[in-house]
Structure 1
């Protein structure tokens, strides 16, 4: 029964890993337990207009255009001049030419932020947010609706780092570095459990290229799509570009898997986390009070270990 399912909203800057996370969240293996009621889009990997197109492309292949898609904000709270097209391609999905363009009229006329604030009041305490892009939409909703951060069952975030080893920034993870102010707002104002997949965690789990080839070779509509859109990014790994390992980093996909099947979590730690805004080199880095020096509410749960074999099984089945 749909009333018994966990209601989920995905907030995304849909690049290659976001697309795979959406596939996991909508996988038939979790159709009895997960109900994605909307997807909100933000700028990040690519500009938000392209993000909405990318989400509609994925939903078209999955046969899930029943899920409403909402366009969000075009810029972070403080505008920046970078993106992740060097990884995801100029269109965010690997510059693949033979994917049919979706009908843009399928996008909702209501804005993402308005949808988020409205639904928070209509279904308080009943919705889980999966945030796999910069947190701009969610932060703006916090500011527009005073009790917004108190209205959700759970928030799962792919973002943040705490060891000072960044990816697109010297010391920060991309999603937090793209909009540090938004990340700070969200970590400060949400009172529900915040489950975090950090950059350090995702770097511990690499998908072997051989395994991915097996998954993408299943010859389904979904596996064929993901095989196409990941071709360029997987080649970057093979070539060792940008310091990437030979096997493939997993980011947003892990956040989706933890949401749909929390039983894969082996260990985690509750801590207080905030975000550095002023540092010349550390802007956007997440700061953890590991020793509880500040005596503040432990606002996040950092995932430290999962059953990776179970994750691989989830991923494989999601492509069928």
Structure 2
């Protein structure tokens, strides 16, 4: 293998740039040429592909987002679109591809592999919802962004003696809500993996008020409920005045944490190693602090499991 490509797809996450850097520099270290594919699968179909040198990825390790940009691509879901994409790769002599993104991006990688083009996936998403890896690139940075925001909101909650309801991202996974809620001492954490009765939430608020607690923090994962709905239910059932904050896309931005920079570097380098070794259709992950790899198709057929011990611990510490 002499030439490989790299692209980022789906929602951006902090750490994608360090992953790109690792792919490029690891490949060049081993004597390979590297081509950056801009704007994800859309750019692949349109031939928006440029050769990357060592200097191309200089001064990006600390930057959020992705220098290769990202885009959704309906055309790639069609056989004709994928045929055009592979044609663009073949025309440039590119023999393998690293795809950095989430499960939607990996489904595209599976299709390329099934049609004979070697592809390796690197999990980059703040949602931490990919099976086969303890952490995804971007989760730690997003988690710290959420914690920082809740710390500030708690100051206002204390000053005004009110419950605050904070909605965080995560799509259908509750990791971001669970970890941030536990880290910030939230009284209630509402996630899609565990049914939460609003009456239980209200009971905890009332019990806290009885013992002199002046404010409360409730963290809601977007895949479970909207914060506005939770606030409305609390108002209707308990006549409590609450305030709602939806953190939104601020969670995706910012300089990647040290953990995400190292994780992205390790995963990106491993992806190159796998291509050089002739592997295809694999996803890189980290388990017990060891870099591992799995068949992407197996990963996509499994369900993401949230840490049940953390759920129990959060419940025990929020009394």
TM-score over 0.5 (shorter chain): no
Task: Name which one, 1 or 2, has greater alpha-carbon Rg.
Answer: 2
Give the alignment's TM-score, normalised by structure 1: 0.35
Give the alignment's TM-score, normalised by structure 2: 0.35
Relative to its length, the structure with more helix (as a share) is 2
